[in-house]
């Protein structure tokens, strides 16, 4: 089946999907996005993703009454059905619109809306069994990382540097020595059986999977706190976990050349991942 795209009201094969070179997403990163996946062919946590998309759109002053933003749930459902894949990865993007390059956008500019549907083909079973390595990176991003915007260059550079160092991910540490998040995922640490994660603030994304993991920890009776996590606490943790739509809940077993805990995936990860998979498959 062909990979498909929805572009401003029209469904087309992905290879034919285009936007103008004057799109402000291309010119300025002036836009927001979401990534959603399916389990058993059903969208998972879609209501949370759509709510976050609308919050991000409002934060950058996109018109809240744009008919495609209002109807994004039905557009995505239609796109998934047209794709027909057993499992799908859906990317949703709204940009400011198309206009001649200039910092001031024209009044009344119409946003561009793009939705793509591809087969979900990310296999992390080995990484889940064995755990992954991360490296630390200085957090050089802008101050509104709570907005899921297209401005990802620092993330891209840090993730590629991590790959060059043989690591799966890079974890950002700010100038005060606090862990914020990783380039594509939220971060949790386990100390003495308790789960800790940095509190929500403007310099990290309110992850959808993060929120689900916190709910599962409560239901599973895992002690948890949203608290500032320092570089030193990260390095001394019994377990470190990553969470995102694509990695679900993934164990970190090495930070640079330093093992985490006993060097293997830990019991809190096993418990939370089992609970997450059960929730995803029953949703």
What tens digit of pLDDT does each residue of 5-41 get? 999 999 999 999 999 999 999 999 999 999 999 999 9
Look up tokens 């089946």; give the residue: 1
State the average pLDDT over residues 118-124: 96
So what's the pLDDT on residue 129? Answer: 96
- Selecting from 3.30.470.10, 3.40.50.300, 3.30.70.20, 3.30.300.20, what CATH number does the domain 4-119 have? 3.30.470.10
Percent of the residues in the chain that have a pLDDT greater than 70, as a whole number? 100
Q: Distance (Å, rounded) from C-alpha 28 to C-alpha 25?
A: 6
Annotated catalytic residue, options 148, 165, 254, 281: 148
Mean pLDDT score, 59-78: 97
Residue-range domain boundaries for the chain: 4-119, 125-282
Contact by Cβ (8 Å): 43, 76: yes
If DSSP codes are grouped into helix, strand and coil, which group holds residue 141?
coil
Based on the residue annotation, tell me whether 148 is a catalytic residue of this protein: yes
Query: Predicted confidence band at 66 (pLDDT cuts at 50, 70, 90)?
Result: very high
Write down the pLDDT at residue 173: 98
* Predicted confidence (pLDDT) at residue 1 exceeds the cutoff of 70: no
User: Which residues on neighbouring strands pair with residue 132, listed in sequence order?
Assistant: 252
Q: What is the mean pLDDT of the chain?
A: 97
Tokens standing for residue 19: 């936007």
pLDDT at 257: 96
pLDDT tens digits for range 145-191: 999 999 999 999 999 999 999 999 999 999 999 999 999 999 999 99
Report the pLDDT averaged over residues 261-281. Answer: 97
pLDDT computed for residue 283 by the predictor: 78
- Architecture of the structural domain at 125-282: Alpha-Beta Barrel (3.20)
Mean pLDDT of 187-208: 97
Residue 2 has pLDDT above 80, yes or no: no
* Alpha helices (H) in the chain, listed in sequence order: 24-28, 46-59, 67-70, 72-83, 125-130, 153-164, 208-220, 231-236, 267-282
Q: Hey, do 4-119 and 125-282 end up sharing a CATH topology, with the first three levels equal? A: no
Sequence-distant (≥ 6) Cβ neighbours of residue 114 within 8 angstroms: 5, 6, 7, 8, 17, 19, 91, 92, 93, 94, 95
Helix, strand or coil for residue 244? strand
Average pLDDT of the segment spanning 85-107: 97
Instruction: Report the pLDDT value the prediction gives residue 30, as an integer from 0 to 100.
Output: 98
**Which residue has 């957090």 as its token pair?**
139
Report the pLDDT value the prediction gives residue 35, as an integer from 0 to 100. Answer: 98
Per-residue pLDDT at 266 exceeds 80: yes
Could you report the per-residue pLDDT of 210-220, keeping only the tens digit for each? 999 999 999 99
The mean per-residue pLDDT over the stretch 42-66 comes to 98
pLDDT band at 272 (very low <50, low <70, confident <90, very high): very high
């Amino acid at each position: 089946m062909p990979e498909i795209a929805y572009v401003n009201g029209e469904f087309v094969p992905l290879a034919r999907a285009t936007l103008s070179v004057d799109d402000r997403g291309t010119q300025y990163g002036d836009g927001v996005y979401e990534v959603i996946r399916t389990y058993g062919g059903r969208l998972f946590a879609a209501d949370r993703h759509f709510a976050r998309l609308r919050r991000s759109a409002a934060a950058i002053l996109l018109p809240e009454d744009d008919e495609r933003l209002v109807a994004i749930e039905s557009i995505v459902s239609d796109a998934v059905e047209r794709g027909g894949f057993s499992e799908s990865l859906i990317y949703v993007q709204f940009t400011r619109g198309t206009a001649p390059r200039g910092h001031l956008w024209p009044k009344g500019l119409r946003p561009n809306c793009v939705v793509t549907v591809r087969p979900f083909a990310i296999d992390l079973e080995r990484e889940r069994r064995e755990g992954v390595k991360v490296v630390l990176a200085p957090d050089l991003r802008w101050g509104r990382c709570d907005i899921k915007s297209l401005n990802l260059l620092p993330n891209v550079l840090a993730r590629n540097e991590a790959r060059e160092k043989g690591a799966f991910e890079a974890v950002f540490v700010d100038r005060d020595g606090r862990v914020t998040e990783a380039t594509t995922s939220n971060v949790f640490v386990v100390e003495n059986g308790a789960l800790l994660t940095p509190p929500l603030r403007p310099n990290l994304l309110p992850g959808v999977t993060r929120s689900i993991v916190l709910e599962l920890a409560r239901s599973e009776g895992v002690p948890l706190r949203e608290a500032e996590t320092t570089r030193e606490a990260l390095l001394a943790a019994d377990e470190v976990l990553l969470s995102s739509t694509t990695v679900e809940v993934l164990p970190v077993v090495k930070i640079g050349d330093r093992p985490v805990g006993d060097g293997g995936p830990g019991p809190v990860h096993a418990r939370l991942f089992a609970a997450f998979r059960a929730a995803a498959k029953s949703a």
